[in-house]
A and B are shown apart, each in its own frame.
Chain A
């Protein structure tokens, strides 16, 4: 349902994406791995139309969003939810207002109905009863969970995760992984996750794609990835620096 075709993007003559081709099927969890600063976030922002490519296409159910006007992209975006790296909660609003925000903007629900949905979504992420707290009062892990609750507020079909476990302790990382798996199964969502956390990747992924030097160097299920003979993939999985891979 998501198809990236020959996607190119440069910033100030620096090639970030250099011909990306990738297909993401409905209902699967794909994890895109790659080193930090390698263009993973840029790739994710192309999928939701926050960045327009220099060349190439992004198809969402056969609609090429790179050709759409800004207003039409907004219609497509309502099918998406996104969890940002640092959750990107609005710090002028309470947790409850943050989750209620997309509902108040895009639906005609009454205040009481919205409050019920907010409470339900907070329960989904295991944080009931914190509606009146402000984001500044929350820990990193709690912020991410509230961010996830906000991302699923409008019951999207596709959720994008920008490094959901970066900066979290192992226990919170495991909790977030479980949450992603649980929500994906319950709502039958398509999840696109970008990460460099190997352990989490193998735990949640149906499919893994590796981004290297602006290209998808390998895609496959976790098992085939683990057994891959591609030195770049093995180097990344085992944490071997690039210069050593090339010299060996």
Chain B
């Protein structure tokens, strides 16, 4: 029993410690972000890596999520003759929840893990120390461009995901399930408010920050060779994913 309590206490303390360290990293990154040189080229490089190279996977996710959402909702709505609400349901679900969350999860899997692995490898091969020795702040050089890129591109990817999801819903609803396209579009336009889209995008900004910060933090503090890099990568994905889902609940309860 004592050992059980000890383990719980130890894990809790370690989690709180990590949150504190992460906050310190975020504050440090924020303060370095405004000190020249701005390293625009580095930011663009990270935007390409996190954003452009994730477009395909985001489109794929959006298309099938929108499609299956239309399919499932159709069978439920048919029971009480509410098929006309299909367009609105797909669009609201995509813009408010599924777009931001699924995009963030996909980017975490693709780019968050890669950030942790890259920084982790740089840590264990002393490349991060080499930067510091050359009088270049590693947080400014490595962490700041990734966080800025994450904050900028995840919302853009979310917009793409929202749009493609609605297209997926349209394809399934109108082409396969033969819902009237006019009703599909009209109900969607009637029920989706601009605030739904903006709140979803606000979430995606937060998720972009979370997934890059956690990826950077886990990579930056990697210990113990190749095994350590593997562990850091896994932890980055798990912690980011859970944080995104928990964060989503908190943001939803605050925003809507």
**Interface on A for B, CB 8 Å cutoff?**
45, 48, 50, 70, 74-75, 77-78, 80-82, 84-86, 88-91, 101-102, 105-106
* B residues adjacent to A (C-beta < 8 A): 122, 125-127, 129-130, 132-137
User: Are A88 and B127 neighbours in the complex by a CB distance under 8 Å?
Assistant: yes
Q: Is the interface of A mostly helix, strand, loop or mixed?
A: mixed
Report the bound CA distance from A74 to B137 in whole Å.
8
A102 cross-chain contacts in B, Cβ below 8 A = 134-136
B126 neighbours in A (Cβ, 8 Å): 84-86, 88
Q: Is the CB of B135 within 8 A of A106?
A: yes
Q: Tell me the bound Cα distance from A105 to B122 in angstroms.
A: 19
A-B contact pairs, 21 of them (CB 8 A): A48-B133, A50-B132, A50-B133, A70-B137, A74-B135, A77-B132, A77-B133, A77-B134, A78-B135, A82-B130, A82-B133, A86-B125, A86-B126, A88-B125, A88-B127, A88-B129, A89-B130, A91-B127, A102-B135, A102-B136, A105-B134
Complex-state Cα separation, A78 to B134, whole angstroms: 7
In the complex the two chains form, is A90's CB within 8 Å of B133's CB? Answer: no
In whole angstroms, what is the CA distance A45 to B122 when docked?
Answer: 17
Q: In whole angstroms, what is the CA distance A77 to B129 when docked? A: 12
A90 touches B135 (CB 8 A): no
Instruction: Identify the closest chain B residue to A162 (Cβ).
Output: B126
**Are A75 and B135 touching (Cβ within 8 A)?**
yes
**Bound Cα distance A78, B135 (Å):** 6
A74 nearest in chain B by CB position: B135
Complex-state Cα separation, A75 to B136, whole angstroms:
10
- Min CB distance, A21 to chain B, in Å? 24
Complex: how many Å from CA A19 to CA B112? 42
Q: Are A77 and B125 in contact (CB under 8 A)?
A: no
Closest to B124 in A: A86
Residue of A nearest to B131 (CB): A90
Q: What are the residues of chain A within 8 A of B125 when measuring CB–CB?
A: 86, 88, 91
Identity of the chain A residue whose Cβ is nearest the Cβ of B121 in the assembled complex: A91
CB distance from A23 to the nearest CB of B (A): 22
Which of chain B's residues has its CB closest to A85's CB?
A: B126
